[in-house]
């Protein structure tokens, strides 16, 4: 089944970009980044960026991320996939990152939410970019419930997000 991802959530003042591969079924149905109730993304982001516990409102969560200079997007804009697993992705089409980086020139740090996002980016996006040298890239363990590390273990491995945030 062909699926279309979500548009980027970004402001001119964003300095960090967190990229997933493609939203899962629950996120697409809700039209929300990290919309699955067991996904650890929002608890991780709030704890890393001094926000306490996530607010229940999606709009408030987005305001929180953007107010801290964090943009959200996915590597793929379109793909074929049955279910939510990254391993089921077929016919991937990447977003237009050259245009994105041209418009949002303040982005300095790119974080991949999972190894698949990193691999898709390196395969489908890097060859299309001319000047990726200004960006730093870090691959993080997936916040997905399919990646079974505890929240505390993921929090420790996601510390590069906090470190980059404190520097900008």
The one catalytic residue among 21, 39, 116, 143: 39
Q: Give yes or no: 39 in active site.
A: yes
List Cβ<8 Å contacts ≥24 apart for 61-68: 62/9, 62/33, 65/9, 66/9, 66/10, 66/11, 66/14, 68/165
What are the beta bridge partners of residue 20? Answer: 74
C-alpha pair distances (Å), 87 with each of 9, 17, 119, 136: 25, 23, 12, 26
Q: Which residues are catalytic?
A: 39
């Amino acid at each position: 089944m062909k699926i279309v991802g979500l548009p980027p959530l970004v402001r001119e003042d964003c300095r960090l970009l967190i990229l997933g591969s493609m939203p899962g079924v629950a996120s697409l149905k809700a039209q929300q980044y990290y919309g699955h109730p067991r996904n650890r993304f929002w608890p991780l982001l709030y704890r890393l960026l001094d926000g306490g516990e996530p607010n229940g409102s999606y709009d408030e969560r987005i305001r929180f991320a953007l107010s801290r200079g964090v943009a959200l997007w996915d590597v793929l804009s379109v793909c074929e996939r049955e279910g939510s697993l990254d391993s089921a992705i077929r016919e991937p089409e990447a977003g237009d990152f050259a245009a994105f980086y041209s418009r949002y020139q303040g982005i300095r740090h790119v974080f991949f939410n999972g190894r698949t996002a990193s691999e898709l980016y390196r395969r489908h996006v890097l060859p299309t970019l001319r000047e990726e040298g200004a960006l730093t890239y870090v691959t993080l363990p997936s916040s997905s419930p399919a990646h079974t590390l505890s929240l505390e273990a993921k929090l420790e491995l996601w510390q590069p997000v906090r470190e980059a945030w404190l520097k900008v």
